[in-house]
Copies of this chain bind each other. A is one copy, B any other.
Amino acid sequence: MNVRRTTIKDVAEAAGVGVATVSRVLSGGSASPETRERVLNAATQLDYRPSALGRNLRQRRSGGIGLLVPDITDSFYGRLADGVLACARSAGEPVVLGTTGDDAEREAEQIGMLLEQGVERVVAVPAGNAEIWEPTLRTGLTMVFAHRPVTARDDVPAVLADDRAGVRTAVDYLTGLGHRRIAYLGGPGQGQRVAAFRQSVGALLDEELIVFARGSRDSAYAAAAGLFQHRPDLTAVLAGGNQLGEAAVLAARELDLRVPKDLSLVMFDDVPWAELCSPPLTVIAQPAQDIGYRAAELVLRAGARRPRGVLLPTELIVRGSCGPRRTP
């Protein structure tokens, strides 16, 4: 039961060389062909697997990459995580996952844990703002932000969907259908999108039509229902995420607002069920998996890492949840 695992020392002994040589051979250093072969043979013979523990300690860093998302339950973050995992797997790196619940404090706690583990490369969907990140960025870890930027930190690369274009396209689409009172139903950390929304609606801007929910489903529902009840004059809604879209559909149904007859709805993020919904939802698709993959790529290629950021395209997918403005 207490079988000691085979160490580099065993391999060295079996191959009749020093441990340094074994290490060199296994990590691609220089060695004579014959020695190399002897070592490799001995290694396979003994089924040697180098322990990451020893290496990590010596190099003062654990290989893996850290991933921080607000909520792994959310389809969008699920796909983003999948992208990170795919990239990490092809690089042979483990991924340490943590959730922040979009809470800056919890985020800091998770970062602390990652540092303690020696994780030095982190992909994060940032919850906090610039000041919050200040201290952790000074610890010297390699960060890449995904999905959202941290304003005023353009020295940290960010992989983003082109929210601005997405919002504008959606708003143009809705105004083109005749809508004048368009609401934005937002979640945490959507400063960019809201700015784009304000800009896109231009003269139609009505601050009361911009509402925010906190992270949870309940909060999203409350925000949507509150909005619909408080402003029955609105005719279109742009929901800033799939949970918010879900809440909007439910709230509309509850208040007997027919979609799209009474209310047009566009949702950020294309999820499989958008097509199953009744009516099928018009969405702004985001390449969630790509975002994750690209972010992981960036964080792994820490060296000459110049790109300040990557902007991936969004796409408006028209289904059935938008119609011409209801004529009163």
Contacts and interface: CB of A to CB of B under 8 A. Distances in A.
Given A73-B82, A82-B72, A98-B85, A117 B249 contact: no
Interface in A77-113: 78-79, 81-82, 85, 89, 92, 94-99, 112-113
Contact-size category for A: 35 or more
Given A64-B117, A116-B49, A118-B52, A246 B276 contact: yes
A118 B273 contact: no
Q: Which of A49, A53, A112 has the most CB of B within 10 A?
A: A53
B75 A116 contact: no
A103 B49 CA distance: 22
Contact of A94 (B78, B96, B250): B96
A130 to B, nearest CB: 21
A100 to B, nearest CB: 11
A72 B78 contact: yes
A202 interface: no
Number of this chain's copies in the assembly equals 2
Interface string A37-76: 0000000000001111110110011101001000111110
A278 B320 CA distance: 13
A52 B116 contact: yes
Interface string A187-215: 00000000000000000000000000000
A1 B141 CA distance: 11
A115 interface: yes
A302 interface: no
A275 interface: yes
A140 interface: yes
A112 B49 contact: yes
B272 A246 contact: yes
B49 A115 contact: yes
Contact of A275 (B85, B115, B250): B250
A139 to B, nearest CB: 9
A275 B277 CA distance: 9
Given A246-B272, A250-B276, A273-B277, A81 B72 contact: yes
Nearest to A81: B72
Interface in A107-144: 112-118, 140
Contacts of A56: 53, 56-57
Interface of A: 1, 3, 49-54, 56-57, 60-62, 64, 67, 71-75, 78-79, 81-82, 85, 89, 92, 94-99, 112-118, 140, 217, 243, 246, 249-250, 271-273, 275-278
Q: Which 8 A-B pairs have the closest CB atoms?
A: A278-B278, A273-B273, A97-B97, A53-B57, A53-B118, A57-B57, A73-B78, A52-B117
Given A52-B118, A72-B78, 10 more contacts: A1-B140, A52-B117, A53-B117, A57-B57, A72-B81, A73-B79, A73-B82, A75-B78, A94-B96, A95-B98
10 contacts: A1-B140, A51-B116, A51-B118, A52-B118, A54-B57, A64-B96, A72-B82, A85-B99, A246-B276, A276-B277
